[in-house]
Amino acid sequence: MTAVKSICCIGAGYVGGPTCAVIAYKCHDIKVTIVDVNPARIAAWNSDKLPIYEPGLEDVVLARRGKNLFFSTNVDGAIQEADLIFVSVNTPTKKSGMGAGRAADLAYVESATRRIAQVATSSKIVVEKSTVPCRTAQSMRTILEANSTDKIHFDILSNPEFLAEGTAIDDLLKPDRVLIGALQTPEGIRAQQALADVYGHWVAKESILTTNLWSSELSKLAANAMLAQRISSVNALSAICEATGADVDEVAYACGRDSRLGSKFLKASVGFGGSCFQKDILNLVYLSEQLNLPEVAAYWHQVVIMNEYQKKRFVRNIIKTLFNTITNKKIAVLGFAFKKDTGDTRESAAITLIKDFIQESARVAIYDPKVDRQQIVMDLSEPGVVDTQQQVEKHVQICSSAYEAAKDADAVVLVTEWDEFRDDQLDYAKIYDGMHKPAFLFDGRLLVNAPKLRKMGFKVNVIGKTELAGKA
Protein backbone atom coordinates (compact mmCIF):
# COMPACT_ATOMS: atom_id res chain seq x y z
CA MET A 1 0.00 0.00 0.00
CA THR A 2 1.48 3.34 -1.05
CA ALA A 3 1.21 6.43 1.15
CA VAL A 4 -2.24 7.98 1.48
CA LYS A 5 -2.52 11.12 -0.64
CA SER A 6 -6.26 11.72 -0.68
CA ILE A 7 -8.86 11.21 2.06
CA CYS A 8 -12.65 11.36 1.80
CA CYS A 9 -14.90 11.58 4.84
CA ILE A 10 -18.55 10.64 4.34
CA GLY A 11 -20.46 12.59 6.98
CA ALA A 12 -19.84 16.20 8.05
CA GLY A 13 -21.10 15.89 11.61
CA TYR A 14 -19.57 16.11 15.08
CA VAL A 15 -17.03 13.36 14.40
CA GLY A 16 -16.16 13.58 10.73
CA GLY A 17 -15.88 17.37 10.49
CA PRO A 18 -13.44 18.03 13.36
CA THR A 19 -11.46 14.80 12.84
CA CYS A 20 -10.73 15.36 9.18
CA ALA A 21 -10.18 19.10 9.65
CA VAL A 22 -7.39 18.26 12.10
CA ILE A 23 -5.95 15.67 9.69
CA ALA A 24 -5.81 18.37 7.00
CA TYR A 25 -4.32 20.80 9.53
CA LYS A 26 -1.52 18.37 10.41
CA CYS A 27 -1.00 16.67 7.02
CA HIS A 28 -0.49 19.36 4.39
CA ASP A 29 0.55 16.70 1.86
CA ILE A 30 -2.85 14.98 2.02
CA LYS A 31 -5.98 16.32 0.31
CA VAL A 32 -8.97 15.95 2.63
CA THR A 33 -12.53 16.23 1.31
CA ILE A 34 -15.48 16.08 3.68
CA VAL A 35 -18.75 15.25 1.94
CA ASP A 36 -22.37 15.17 3.00
CA VAL A 37 -25.71 14.79 1.21
CA ASN A 38 -27.08 17.75 3.19
CA PRO A 39 -26.28 20.89 1.14
CA ALA A 40 -27.17 23.24 4.02
CA ARG A 41 -24.60 21.59 6.27
CA ILE A 42 -21.89 21.80 3.62
CA ALA A 43 -22.78 25.44 2.96
CA ALA A 44 -22.34 26.13 6.67
CA TRP A 45 -18.90 24.47 6.68
CA ASN A 46 -17.94 26.74 3.78
CA SER A 47 -19.30 29.87 5.52
CA ASP A 48 -18.08 32.17 8.28
CA LYS A 49 -20.31 30.42 10.84
CA LEU A 50 -19.49 26.73 11.14
CA PRO A 51 -22.36 24.31 11.90
CA ILE A 52 -20.52 22.98 14.96
CA TYR A 53 -19.12 24.93 17.88
CA GLU A 54 -15.91 23.54 19.36
CA PRO A 55 -13.12 25.63 20.91
CA GLY A 56 -10.30 25.83 18.36
CA LEU A 57 -12.26 24.30 15.46
CA GLU A 58 -12.73 27.55 13.57
CA ASP A 59 -8.98 28.29 13.63
CA VAL A 60 -8.18 24.80 12.31
CA VAL A 61 -10.77 24.97 9.51
CA LEU A 62 -9.89 28.49 8.38
CA ALA A 63 -6.17 27.64 8.32
CA ARG A 64 -6.62 24.83 5.75
CA ARG A 65 -9.98 25.37 4.01
CA GLY A 66 -9.45 25.86 0.28
CA LYS A 67 -5.86 24.60 0.54
CA ASN A 68 -5.99 20.91 1.35
CA LEU A 69 -9.35 20.86 3.18
CA PHE A 70 -12.57 20.92 1.17
CA PHE A 71 -16.28 20.55 1.93
CA SER A 72 -18.53 19.26 -0.85
CA THR A 73 -21.81 17.56 -1.74
CA ASN A 74 -20.08 15.67 -4.58
CA VAL A 75 -19.98 12.37 -2.72
CA ASP A 76 -19.25 10.20 -5.76
CA GLY A 77 -16.37 12.35 -6.98
CA ALA A 78 -14.71 12.37 -3.56
CA ILE A 79 -15.07 8.58 -3.24
CA GLN A 80 -13.50 8.00 -6.64
CA GLU A 81 -10.55 10.28 -5.89
CA ALA A 82 -9.76 9.06 -2.37
CA ASP A 83 -7.22 6.46 -1.31
CA LEU A 84 -8.82 6.22 2.14
CA ILE A 85 -12.47 6.78 3.06
CA PHE A 86 -13.79 7.49 6.55
CA VAL A 87 -17.40 6.44 7.11
CA SER A 88 -18.55 8.89 9.74
CA VAL A 89 -22.33 8.89 9.48
CA ASN A 90 -24.94 8.98 12.23
CA THR A 91 -25.74 5.73 14.09
CA PRO A 92 -28.73 6.64 16.31
CA THR A 93 -30.49 4.18 18.58
CA LYS A 94 -33.30 2.38 16.72
CA LYS A 95 -36.77 3.79 17.39
CA SER A 96 -38.73 0.83 16.02
CA GLY A 97 -38.34 -2.77 14.97
CA MET A 98 -36.06 -5.42 16.44
CA GLY A 99 -33.87 -4.00 19.18
CA ALA A 100 -35.83 -0.72 19.32
CA GLY A 101 -34.60 1.54 22.10
CA ARG A 102 -31.25 -0.26 22.42
CA ALA A 103 -29.72 -1.40 19.13
CA ALA A 104 -27.92 1.02 16.84
CA ASP A 105 -29.59 1.94 13.55
CA LEU A 106 -26.99 1.07 10.93
CA ALA A 107 -28.99 2.17 7.89
CA TYR A 108 -26.68 5.13 7.19
CA VAL A 109 -23.57 2.98 7.56
CA GLU A 110 -24.91 0.43 5.10
CA SER A 111 -26.02 3.15 2.68
CA ALA A 112 -22.56 4.76 2.73
CA THR A 113 -20.87 1.38 2.27
CA ARG A 114 -23.06 0.52 -0.72
CA ARG A 115 -22.34 3.95 -2.21
CA ILE A 116 -18.60 3.29 -1.95
CA ALA A 117 -18.98 -0.16 -3.52
CA GLN A 118 -21.12 1.25 -6.35
CA VAL A 119 -18.96 4.18 -7.45
CA ALA A 120 -15.36 3.20 -6.57
CA THR A 121 -13.14 2.78 -9.62
CA SER A 122 -9.94 1.87 -7.75
CA SER A 123 -8.88 0.09 -4.55
CA LYS A 124 -9.81 1.80 -1.29
CA ILE A 125 -9.16 1.62 2.43
CA VAL A 126 -12.56 2.00 4.12
CA VAL A 127 -12.49 3.11 7.76
CA GLU A 128 -15.31 2.76 10.29
CA LYS A 129 -15.31 6.06 12.16
CA SER A 130 -18.89 5.98 13.42
CA THR A 131 -19.57 4.29 16.74
CA VAL A 132 -20.92 0.87 15.77
CA PRO A 133 -21.77 -2.46 17.42
CA CYS A 134 -19.10 -5.12 17.52
CA ARG A 135 -18.74 -6.95 14.17
CA THR A 136 -20.43 -4.25 12.08
CA ALA A 137 -17.29 -4.32 9.97
CA GLN A 138 -18.24 -7.83 8.89
CA SER A 139 -21.41 -6.50 7.25
CA MET A 140 -19.45 -3.72 5.56
CA ARG A 141 -16.82 -6.21 4.45
CA THR A 142 -19.48 -8.51 2.94
CA ILE A 143 -20.91 -5.63 0.88
CA LEU A 144 -17.50 -4.43 -0.26
CA GLU A 145 -16.11 -7.86 -1.10
CA ALA A 146 -19.20 -8.64 -3.16
CA ASN A 147 -18.19 -5.71 -5.35
CA SER A 148 -14.45 -6.44 -5.49
CA THR A 149 -12.76 -7.32 -8.79
CA ASP A 150 -9.25 -8.25 -9.86
CA LYS A 151 -8.54 -4.52 -10.17
CA ILE A 152 -10.54 -3.13 -7.23
CA HIS A 153 -9.82 -4.31 -3.68
CA PHE A 154 -11.30 -3.00 -0.43
CA ASP A 155 -9.60 -3.12 2.97
CA ILE A 156 -11.67 -2.30 6.04
CA LEU A 157 -10.41 -0.76 9.28
CA SER A 158 -11.96 0.30 12.56
CA ASN A 159 -10.78 3.64 13.94
CA PRO A 160 -13.20 4.65 16.72
CA GLU A 161 -13.24 8.23 17.99
CA PHE A 162 -12.68 9.08 21.64
CA LEU A 163 -13.68 12.73 21.49
CA ALA A 164 -15.46 14.72 24.13
CA GLU A 165 -17.62 17.67 23.10
CA GLY A 166 -16.00 20.87 24.31
CA THR A 167 -12.46 19.48 24.07
CA ALA A 168 -12.66 17.68 20.71
CA ILE A 169 -9.88 19.66 19.02
CA ASP A 170 -7.48 19.21 21.94
CA ASP A 171 -8.44 15.52 22.01
CA LEU A 172 -7.52 15.25 18.33
CA LEU A 173 -4.32 17.27 18.53
CA LYS A 174 -3.09 15.53 21.70
CA PRO A 175 -4.87 12.17 21.88
CA ASP A 176 -4.42 9.72 24.75
CA ARG A 177 -4.37 7.03 22.10
CA VAL A 178 -5.37 6.37 18.51
CA LEU A 179 -6.91 2.94 18.03
CA ILE A 180 -6.79 1.18 14.65
CA GLY A 181 -8.27 -2.27 14.19
CA ALA A 182 -7.71 -4.44 11.14
CA LEU A 183 -8.15 -7.97 9.89
CA GLN A 184 -4.93 -9.75 10.74
CA THR A 185 -4.10 -10.55 7.13
CA PRO A 186 -1.12 -9.16 5.18
CA GLU A 187 -3.48 -6.82 3.30
CA GLY A 188 -5.24 -5.73 6.48
CA ILE A 189 -2.00 -5.03 8.31
CA ARG A 190 -0.69 -2.97 5.37
CA ALA A 191 -3.90 -0.88 5.37
CA GLN A 192 -3.60 -0.49 9.15
CA GLN A 193 -0.06 0.83 8.74
CA ALA A 194 -1.16 3.27 6.01
CA LEU A 195 -3.66 4.89 8.41
CA ALA A 196 -1.12 4.78 11.24
CA ASP A 197 1.27 6.73 9.00
CA VAL A 198 -1.39 9.43 8.54
CA TYR A 199 -1.73 9.86 12.31
CA GLY A 200 2.04 9.56 12.63
CA HIS A 201 2.34 13.08 11.20
CA TRP A 202 1.64 14.35 14.73
CA VAL A 203 0.88 11.46 17.09
CA ALA A 204 3.71 9.59 18.84
CA LYS A 205 4.16 6.02 17.66
CA GLU A 206 3.57 4.58 21.14
CA SER A 207 0.16 6.30 21.25
CA ILE A 208 -1.06 4.56 18.08
CA LEU A 209 -2.53 1.24 19.17
CA THR A 210 -3.13 -1.52 16.63
CA THR A 211 -5.56 -4.36 17.35
CA ASN A 212 -7.74 -6.82 15.53
CA LEU A 213 -10.89 -5.46 13.96
CA TRP A 214 -13.34 -6.69 16.59
CA SER A 215 -11.32 -5.52 19.61
CA SER A 216 -11.23 -2.01 18.17
CA GLU A 217 -15.01 -1.93 17.68
CA LEU A 218 -15.77 -3.19 21.18
CA SER A 219 -13.21 -0.90 22.86
CA LYS A 220 -15.25 2.22 22.05
CA LEU A 221 -18.45 0.83 23.57
CA ALA A 222 -16.53 -0.50 26.58
CA ALA A 223 -14.77 2.81 27.29
CA ASN A 224 -17.97 4.85 27.18
CA ALA A 225 -19.88 2.29 29.23
CA MET A 226 -17.21 2.37 31.96
CA LEU A 227 -17.12 6.18 32.04
CA ALA A 228 -20.91 6.44 32.17
CA GLN A 229 -20.99 3.84 34.94
CA ARG A 230 -18.73 6.05 37.06
CA ILE A 231 -21.07 9.04 36.62
CA SER A 232 -24.11 6.96 37.53
CA SER A 233 -22.27 5.51 40.54
CA VAL A 234 -21.42 8.93 41.96
CA ASN A 235 -24.96 10.12 41.21
CA ALA A 236 -26.30 7.15 43.19
CA LEU A 237 -24.04 8.25 46.04
CA SER A 238 -25.37 11.81 45.76
CA ALA A 239 -28.81 10.61 46.85
CA ILE A 240 -27.26 8.94 49.91
CA CYS A 241 -25.30 12.12 50.67
CA GLU A 242 -28.44 14.23 50.67
CA ALA A 243 -30.16 11.77 53.01
CA THR A 244 -27.26 11.47 55.48
CA GLY A 245 -25.70 14.95 55.45
CA ALA A 246 -22.52 13.77 53.70
CA ASP A 247 -21.05 16.06 51.01
CA VAL A 248 -20.82 14.39 47.58
CA ASP A 249 -17.81 16.52 46.58
CA GLU A 250 -15.90 15.37 49.65
CA VAL A 251 -16.85 11.72 49.12
CA ALA A 252 -15.84 11.90 45.45
CA TYR A 253 -12.56 13.62 46.34
CA ALA A 254 -11.73 10.92 48.88
CA CYS A 255 -12.50 8.18 46.34
CA GLY A 256 -10.61 10.00 43.62
CA ARG A 257 -7.43 10.05 45.70
CA ASP A 258 -7.45 6.25 45.57
CA SER A 259 -4.90 5.52 42.85
CA ARG A 260 -6.90 2.45 41.88
CA LEU A 261 -9.85 4.67 40.91
CA GLY A 262 -8.56 8.09 39.84
CA SER A 263 -10.47 11.36 39.99
CA LYS A 264 -12.13 11.63 36.57
CA PHE A 265 -15.89 11.24 36.04
CA LEU A 266 -16.59 11.55 39.75
CA LYS A 267 -18.59 14.78 39.58
CA ALA A 268 -22.20 14.44 40.69
CA SER A 269 -24.72 16.13 38.42
CA VAL A 270 -28.29 16.04 37.19
CA GLY A 271 -27.19 13.25 34.84
CA PHE A 272 -25.02 12.53 31.83
CA GLY A 273 -26.04 13.33 28.27
CA GLY A 274 -24.46 13.58 24.84
CA SER A 275 -24.52 11.39 21.77
CA CYS A 276 -22.31 8.59 23.05
CA PHE A 277 -22.82 7.35 26.59
CA GLN A 278 -26.48 6.32 26.57
CA LYS A 279 -26.42 5.09 22.99
CA ASP A 280 -23.29 3.01 23.52
CA ILE A 281 -24.47 1.50 26.80
CA LEU A 282 -27.82 0.55 25.28
CA ASN A 283 -25.91 -0.93 22.37
CA LEU A 284 -23.87 -2.96 24.86
CA VAL A 285 -27.11 -4.06 26.60
CA TYR A 286 -28.52 -5.26 23.30
CA LEU A 287 -25.29 -7.06 22.40
CA SER A 288 -25.33 -8.83 25.78
CA GLU A 289 -28.95 -9.87 25.27
CA GLN A 290 -28.18 -11.23 21.82
CA LEU A 291 -25.28 -13.21 23.31
CA ASN A 292 -27.70 -14.70 25.89
CA LEU A 293 -26.03 -12.88 28.78
CA PRO A 294 -29.07 -11.43 30.59
CA GLU A 295 -27.20 -10.69 33.84
CA VAL A 296 -24.57 -8.70 31.94
CA ALA A 297 -27.30 -6.84 30.05
CA ALA A 298 -29.14 -6.02 33.30
CA TYR A 299 -25.92 -4.73 34.89
CA TRP A 300 -25.19 -2.24 32.13
CA HIS A 301 -28.85 -1.28 31.73
CA GLN A 302 -28.89 -0.24 35.37
CA VAL A 303 -26.39 2.54 34.52
CA VAL A 304 -28.98 4.08 32.19
CA ILE A 305 -31.76 3.53 34.72
CA MET A 306 -29.66 5.33 37.35
CA ASN A 307 -29.14 8.24 34.98
CA GLU A 308 -32.89 8.61 34.35
CA TYR A 309 -33.59 8.28 38.08
CA GLN A 310 -31.21 11.16 38.82
CA LYS A 311 -33.08 13.47 36.43
CA LYS A 312 -36.49 12.51 37.83
CA ARG A 313 -35.23 12.84 41.42
CA PHE A 314 -33.99 16.36 40.65
CA VAL A 315 -37.39 17.35 39.22
CA ARG A 316 -39.26 15.85 42.17
CA ASN A 317 -37.05 17.80 44.57
CA ILE A 318 -37.78 21.06 42.73
CA ILE A 319 -41.54 20.48 42.82
CA LYS A 320 -41.47 19.44 46.49
CA THR A 321 -39.39 22.48 47.46
CA LEU A 322 -41.71 24.83 45.57
CA PHE A 323 -44.58 23.85 47.89
CA ASN A 324 -45.55 20.76 45.85
CA THR A 325 -46.69 22.66 42.78
CA ILE A 326 -45.06 24.56 39.91
CA THR A 327 -48.28 25.28 38.01
CA ASN A 328 -47.98 28.73 36.37
CA LYS A 329 -44.69 29.33 38.18
CA LYS A 330 -41.78 30.62 36.16
CA ILE A 331 -38.73 28.35 36.16
CA ALA A 332 -35.52 29.80 34.71
CA VAL A 333 -33.39 27.04 33.19
CA LEU A 334 -29.77 28.09 32.66
CA GLY A 335 -28.15 25.82 30.14
CA PHE A 336 -29.57 23.54 27.44
CA ALA A 337 -26.46 21.91 25.93
CA PHE A 338 -25.59 18.62 27.59
CA LYS A 339 -22.35 20.12 28.92
CA LYS A 340 -20.33 23.31 28.62
CA ASP A 341 -18.22 24.35 25.62
CA THR A 342 -20.46 22.67 23.06
CA GLY A 343 -23.70 23.39 21.27
CA ASP A 344 -24.58 19.68 21.28
CA THR A 345 -27.97 18.98 22.87
CA ARG A 346 -28.29 15.26 22.19
CA GLU A 347 -29.67 13.43 25.25
CA SER A 348 -29.24 16.61 27.31
CA ALA A 349 -30.64 16.41 30.83
CA ALA A 350 -32.27 19.78 30.17
CA ILE A 351 -34.67 18.20 27.67
CA THR A 352 -36.02 15.73 30.24
CA LEU A 353 -36.27 18.36 32.97
CA ILE A 354 -38.06 20.93 30.82
CA LYS A 355 -40.53 18.40 29.42
CA ASP A 356 -41.39 17.44 33.00
CA PHE A 357 -41.81 21.12 33.91
CA ILE A 358 -44.17 21.58 30.96
CA GLN A 359 -46.17 18.54 32.06
CA GLU A 360 -46.55 20.24 35.45
CA SER A 361 -47.87 23.39 33.67
CA ALA A 362 -44.90 25.55 34.61
CA ARG A 363 -43.70 28.49 32.55
CA VAL A 364 -40.10 27.82 31.50
CA ALA A 365 -37.53 30.47 30.52
CA ILE A 366 -34.41 29.04 28.90
CA TYR A 367 -31.00 30.56 28.27
CA ASP A 368 -27.98 28.85 26.74
CA PRO A 369 -25.09 30.80 25.19
CA LYS A 370 -24.49 28.38 22.29
CA VAL A 371 -27.82 26.66 21.52
CA ASP A 372 -30.20 28.53 19.22
CA ARG A 373 -33.98 28.82 19.46
CA GLN A 374 -34.71 26.46 16.57
CA GLN A 375 -32.70 23.65 18.17
CA ILE A 376 -34.37 24.10 21.56
CA VAL A 377 -37.89 24.05 20.11
CA MET A 378 -37.07 21.01 17.96
CA ASP A 379 -35.64 19.09 20.95
CA LEU A 380 -38.66 19.84 23.13
CA SER A 381 -41.27 19.09 20.44
CA GLU A 382 -42.46 15.52 19.92
CA PRO A 383 -42.34 14.43 16.27
CA GLY A 384 -45.14 12.31 14.87
CA VAL A 385 -48.87 12.53 14.32
CA VAL A 386 -49.45 15.08 17.10
CA ASP A 387 -47.32 18.20 16.70
CA THR A 388 -46.51 19.55 20.15
CA GLN A 389 -44.54 22.58 18.97
CA GLN A 390 -47.47 24.90 19.69
CA GLN A 391 -47.71 23.59 23.26
CA VAL A 392 -43.96 24.01 23.73
CA GLU A 393 -44.04 27.60 22.52
CA LYS A 394 -46.97 28.30 24.85
CA HIS A 395 -45.00 27.22 27.91
CA VAL A 396 -41.44 28.09 26.88
CA GLN A 397 -39.66 31.42 26.59
CA ILE A 398 -36.20 31.40 25.01
CA CYS A 399 -34.04 34.22 26.35
CA SER A 400 -30.92 36.06 25.28
CA SER A 401 -29.35 36.27 28.75
CA ALA A 402 -29.45 34.67 32.18
CA TYR A 403 -30.85 37.92 33.58
CA GLU A 404 -33.78 37.90 31.14
CA ALA A 405 -34.53 34.27 31.97
CA ALA A 406 -34.46 34.89 35.73
CA LYS A 407 -36.58 38.06 35.65
CA ASP A 408 -39.76 37.44 37.72
CA ALA A 409 -38.81 33.76 38.10
CA ASP A 410 -39.77 31.65 41.10
CA ALA A 411 -36.72 29.44 40.71
CA VAL A 412 -33.42 29.28 38.82
CA VAL A 413 -32.20 25.84 37.76
CA LEU A 414 -28.56 25.34 36.73
CA VAL A 415 -28.43 22.50 34.22
CA THR A 416 -25.27 23.12 32.16
CA GLU A 417 -21.95 24.02 33.79
CA TRP A 418 -21.11 27.00 31.56
CA ASP A 419 -18.41 29.13 33.20
CA GLU A 420 -20.57 32.25 32.83
CA PHE A 421 -23.07 30.75 35.31
CA ARG A 422 -20.51 30.61 38.14
CA ASP A 423 -21.11 33.02 41.00
CA ASP A 424 -17.85 34.87 40.24
CA GLN A 425 -19.04 35.51 36.66
CA LEU A 426 -22.78 36.10 36.97
CA ASP A 427 -24.27 38.88 39.08
CA TYR A 428 -26.47 36.75 41.32
CA ALA A 429 -27.41 39.75 43.46
CA LYS A 430 -29.01 41.29 40.36
CA ILE A 431 -30.76 38.00 39.61
CA TYR A 432 -32.03 37.75 43.19
CA ASP A 433 -33.42 41.29 43.11
CA GLY A 434 -35.47 40.50 40.00
CA MET A 435 -36.96 37.21 41.23
CA HIS A 436 -40.13 36.42 43.15
CA LYS A 437 -39.53 35.78 46.83
CA PRO A 438 -38.65 33.37 48.25
CA ALA A 439 -36.08 33.02 45.47
CA PHE A 440 -35.05 29.42 44.93
CA LEU A 441 -31.89 28.21 43.16
CA PHE A 442 -31.29 24.57 42.25
CA ASP A 443 -27.71 23.70 41.34
CA GLY A 444 -27.58 20.52 39.27
CA ARG A 445 -23.88 20.90 38.44
CA LEU A 446 -22.12 21.75 41.74
CA LEU A 447 -21.38 25.11 40.16
CA VAL A 448 -22.00 27.84 42.76
CA ASN A 449 -20.84 28.78 46.23
CA ALA A 450 -24.06 27.92 48.06
CA PRO A 451 -23.26 29.65 51.41
CA LYS A 452 -22.42 32.87 49.54
CA LEU A 453 -25.74 32.80 47.68
CA ARG A 454 -27.68 31.95 50.83
CA LYS A 455 -26.29 35.10 52.44
CA MET A 456 -27.81 37.06 49.53
CA GLY A 457 -31.19 35.55 50.40
CA PHE A 458 -31.43 32.64 47.97
CA LYS A 459 -32.92 29.33 49.07
CA VAL A 460 -30.23 27.08 47.57
CA ASN A 461 -30.49 23.35 46.84
CA VAL A 462 -27.32 21.62 45.61
CA ILE A 463 -27.33 18.11 44.21
CA GLY A 464 -25.59 15.68 46.56
CA LYS A 465 -25.43 18.15 49.45
CA THR A 466 -27.59 19.50 52.26
CA GLU A 467 -27.42 22.88 53.92
CA LEU A 468 -26.41 21.13 57.16
CA ALA A 469 -23.77 18.91 55.53
CA GLY A 470 -20.85 18.45 57.86
CA LYS A 471 -22.70 19.77 60.90
CA ALA A 472 -23.65 17.64 63.89
Q: Would you list which residues are annotated within the binding site for substrate?
A: 161-165, 220-224, 260, 267-273, 338-339, 445
Cβ partners under 8 Å of residue 210, min gap 6: 180, 181, 182, 192, 196
Q: Residue 246: which region, alpha, beta or left (left: phi > 0; alpha: psi -120 to 50)?
A: beta
Residues belonging to the chain: 472
Question: Annotated active-site positions, please?
Answer: 276
Give CA–CA dist 372/49, Å, rounded.
13
Cβ–Cβ under 8 Å, residues 193 and 175: no
Q: What is the spatial order of strands in the sheet that 69-72 belongs to? A: 69-72, 31-35, 6-10, 84-87, 124-128, 154-158, 178-182, 208-212
Cβ–Cβ under 8 Å, residues 155 and 188: yes
Cβ–Cβ under 8 Å, residues 70 and 21: no
Per DSSP bridges, beta strands 124-128 and 154-158 are parallel
Give CA–CA dist 461/440, Å, rounded.
8
- For residue 356, report the phi and psi dihedrals to the nearest 5 degrees: -65, -40
Cβ–Cβ under 8 Å, residues 19 and 88: yes
Cβ–Cβ under 8 Å, residues 93 and 277: no
Give CA–CA dist 252/234, Å, rounded.
7
Residues marked as binding?
Answer: 11-16, 36, 41, 89-93, 130-131, 161-165, 220-224, 260, 267-273, 276-279, 338-339, 346, 445
Give CA–CA dist 247/192, Å, rounded.
48
277-290 and 294-321 helices, crossing angle to 10°: 140
The partner residues of 84 in beta bridges, in order of sequence, read: 7, 125
Cβ–Cβ under 8 Å, residues 319 and 326: yes
Alpha helices in 399-458 (DSSP H): 402-406, 428-434, 450-456
Give CA–CA dist 377/396, Å, rounded.
9
Torsion sign over Cα 44, 405, 359, 281 = positive
Give CA–CA dist 278/93, Å, rounded.
9
Give CA–CA dist 325/318, Å, rounded.
9
